[in-house]
A and B are shown apart, each in its own frame.
Chain A
Amino acid sequence: MRGNRPTRGSERKAGTVSQSAVQPTPASPTPEGGHLLEIRDLHVEFRTGEGVAKVINGVSYHLDAGETLAVLGESGSGKSVTAQAIMGILDTPPAVIRSGQIRYQGRDLLTQSEEQRRQVRGTEIAMIFQDALSALNPTFPVGWQIGETLRQRAGMSRGDARRRAIELMELVKIPAAANRLGDYPHQFSGGMRQRVMIAMALALDPKVLIADEPTTALDVTVQAQIMDLLSDLRRDLRMAIILITHDLGVVAGVADRIAVMYAGRIVEHADVRSLYKAPAHPYTKGLLKSIPRLDFQGQQLSTIRGLPPNLMRIPSGCPFHPRCPYVQQVCVDVVPHDLVLGDGRTSACHFAQEVRDDRAR
């Protein structure tokens, strides 16, 4: 788990926020409004030699205890960067958090010191990554790596850490856990490696697990096993999960709510059933129509024309307007606000209701 190496200078700087945006932190630790984790109007940009890429442009979402929120988007939509900002593991530079708040149990993480954030990382919010092989250290046995977290952070003795590591490996259903403690990451299959990483993330009993494309590198049968495991863990440990993915099938299977990202914004936010039934943003609608379905045959695949925007030159108005079949002049001129559609649904489209009610296109 990357969160175990707080000495990297880049991480220490991750918490810096431009002063204008800093809000006074409430003294009481009780969650305000009841949300376990809440992101408010986050802006992140990457300053590179070629210019400034506006990667996150006002992202807000929240997570309650025990629920699964899916953050869906294509590459470059900013879904992983948001997660890295929550964890405080953004590489700064080039990343700069321009403004916004990340409130965990009512406290704004972005105003905290690196030492305070380290207390949150792993114990409160943990993260698993897509590529377990590169997230694990190839030169140490997995038992030692799981135990490292426990020794360093929970102050356990080597023997206790070892026993707890076996328990954790059993929790994530690694067969013959005690015998595999001394094995190195390369001796595990892809699915088992992902389980090892989940075991490490669970070591300090976090309340929030951020899963960044946890099954993208896995085969379908193994993907089904890992998604089952995550569902079981959420139920048994009362954990909240942020599932970051591009796979509409995976989302449909496990998520309670879904936030769709495009060009660094949440363009649509809804509970899963109503979003799949009647998407209220043209981008979501286009995505759902462009995936081939296993249970339908011979459908014509409709496509979303054009390309995702260059984040250094985000189009004016609605960033989706050059690709949108519903585009009007207002879309070119005015950035759409989140339109509230009821039932907690929002859509950042000037024509959200028309899009939702239009079944023809």
Chain B
Amino acid sequence: MTAPASPPKKVRGEPILAVENLVKHFPITRGVVFQRQIGAVRAVDGVSFDLRRGETLGIVGESGCGKSTLARLLMRLEMPTSGAATLEGRDLFAARGGELRRLRRNMQMVLQDPYTSLNPRMTVGDIIGEPFEIHPEAAPKGSRQRRVQELLDMVGLSPEHINRYPHQFSGGQRQRIGIARALALRPEVIVCDEPVSALDVSIQAQVINLLEQLQDELGLSYIFIAHDLSVVRHICDRVAVMYLGRIVELGTEEEIYQRATHPYTQALLSAVPVPDPELRDSQNMIRLIGDVPSPANPPSGCRFRTRCWKAQDICATQDPDTVPRAADPHPSACHFAELREPASPS
């Protein structure tokens, strides 16, 4: 991926979004009139990372690990229980009124389900043009239609489709409409929450290629949330692996996929079916036992210890930090972080 010349002062590779120890707990209450809190779902429980300008940061993990809550926090659709995030140095959660609007203009989202995320009663032109109603300064009234047509063209749809309704499009085309809507305000950061998982295989590749091409042309930074590790490897520069509300391992695409040191990452990678029957018996899969524990009641110490084959006493008492480990200098939250031997680990 080579980016064309970025706008001045905006250096590719410098952090554009910084997230510091972000926490979101959803209260569990009992009682109808007099509600009292009896616990909390720790959806996101201390997450820190940087997003650099022009890069794609993948966030992977199984359902319930908190990746979508993280996306909603970054879009300020939820307020965090604690923690901070800054977009280009400005505090994301302290912003109010006009400043918040300006921040939001710079950060847009592409949603998973192209069938429910587009209003069926609005034309494509109205859907893509709606951001201009909220941010009229982004495009003067007279030029809006032209801008919408430009956006349609940019995502590979015909500008003549401006007056059609969402039901007249296929799933992949609808996802393109969602992407055009996200691009309308010329944001610098786009949060993609499972953008291709609802699409068929042959369509998925088209949308992935479109996202990569737009990144090259517009210098966008992506947060790419997905559960499909093959897609993430393909599109991402760096990857964060989440488990029960925490980032357990964070590294470049190569560090995660070739030199993972956290047992969960290793198990997750080994469970991905490889589309090659010749490798059927040589896949050397780590079989995890059981399910992810409830985020309302995570295990003490290391959250992964209940499913981990390396667990020792220390894992139950001491919560490992996500820090560089001796085995490989990228952050990994395991007391026994080590590279996976080619032989069977168990």
Q: Mark interface residues in A213-229 (1 if CB within 8 Å of B CB, else 0).
A: 00000011111110110
Which residue from chain A places its CB closest to the CB of B204 in the assembled complex? A290
Q: Mark interface residues in A258-294 (1 if CB within 8 Å of B CB, else 0).
A: 0000000000000011001100000000111011111
> For A303, what are the chain B residues with a Cβ–Cβ distance below 8 Å?
202, 205-206, 209
Total interface residues on B, using CB and 8 Å? 45
User: Would B230 and A292 count as touching, CB distance under 8 A?
Assistant: yes
Q: B141 on the interface (CB 8 Å rule)?
A: no
User: Would A224 and B205 count as touching, CB distance under 8 A?
Assistant: no
Given A220-B271, A249-B273, A292-B230, is A304 in contact with B208 using a C-beta cutoff of 8 Å?
A: no
User: Would A248 and B201 count as touching, CB distance under 8 A?
Assistant: yes
User: Would B257 and A294 count as touching, CB distance under 8 A?
Assistant: yes
Q: Which of B254-290 contact A (CB under 8 A)?
A: 254, 257, 267-269, 271-280, 283, 285, 287-288, 290
Q: A297 on the interface (CB 8 Å rule)?
A: yes
Given A74-B200, A220-B62, A253-B280, is A294 in contact with B274 using a C-beta cutoff of 8 Å?
A: yes
User: Would A301 and B227 count as touching, CB distance under 8 A?
Assistant: no
Bound Cα distance A286, B203 (Å): 11
Q: B233 on the interface (CB 8 Å rule)?
A: yes
Which residue from chain A places its CB closest to the CB of B60 in the assembled complex? A220
The one of B171, B209, B279, B280 in contact with A301, judged by C-beta atoms closer than 8 angstroms, is: B209
Tell me the smallest distance from the CB of B61 to a CB of chain A, in Å. Answer: 9
The one of B230, B253, B269, B290 in contact with A293, judged by C-beta atoms closer than 8 angstroms, is: B230
User: Would B274 and A221 count as touching, CB distance under 8 A?
Assistant: no
Q: Mark interface residues in A41-75 (1 if CB within 8 Å of B CB, else 0).
A: 00000000000000000000000000000000011
User: Would A252 and B276 count as touching, CB distance under 8 A?
Assistant: yes
**How many inter-chain contacts with C-beta < 8 Å in the A-B complex?**
129
Surface stretch bound by B, among A98-106, A108-116, A149-157, A185-193: A185-193
Given A248-B275, A288-B275, is A221 in contact with B268 using a C-beta cutoff of 8 Å?
A: yes
User: Would B274 and A290 count as touching, CB distance under 8 A?
Assistant: no
User: Would B287 and A224 count as touching, CB distance under 8 A?
Assistant: yes
Bound Cα distance A32, B207 (Å): 47
Q: Which of B35-72 contact A (CB under 8 A)?
A: 62-63
Which residue from chain B places its CB closest to the CB of A301 in the assembled complex? B205
Tell me the smallest distance from the CB of B172 to a CB of chain A, in Å. Answer: 7
Tell me the smallest distance from the CB of A28 to a CB of chain B, in Å. Answer: 37
Bound Cα distance A156, B282 (Å): 45
Tell me the smallest distance from the CB of B313 to a CB of chain A, in Å. Answer: 24
Q: B96 on the interface (CB 8 Å rule)?
A: no
Q: A302 on the interface (CB 8 Å rule)?
A: yes
Tell me the smallest distance from the CB of A272 to a CB of chain B, in Å. Answer: 5
User: Would A221 and B202 count as touching, CB distance under 8 A?
Assistant: no
Tell me the smallest distance from the CB of B177 to a CB of chain A, in Å. Answer: 14
User: Would A252 and B285 count as touching, CB distance under 8 A?
Assistant: no
Bound Cα distance A288, B202 (Å): 9
Tell me the smallest distance from the CB of A200 to a CB of chain B, in Å. Answer: 20
- Sample of 12 A–B contacts (CB below 8 Å): A74-B201, A220-B229, A228-B287, A246-B200, A246-B201, A248-B275, A291-B205, A294-B257, A294-B274, A307-B172, A307-B203, A308-B202
Query: Hey, which bits of chain A sit against chain B, CB under 8 A?
Result: 74-75, 175, 189-192, 219-225, 227-228, 246-253, 255, 272-273, 276-277, 286-288, 290-295, 297-299, 301-304, 307-308
New contact pairs (19) apart from A248-B201, A251-B275, A308-B170, CB-CB < 8 Å? A220-B229, A220-B268, A224-B287, A246-B200, A249-B272, A249-B274, A252-B276, A252-B279, A273-B277, A276-B276, A277-B278, A287-B201, A288-B275, A290-B202, A292-B205, A294-B230, A294-B233, A303-B202, A304-B205
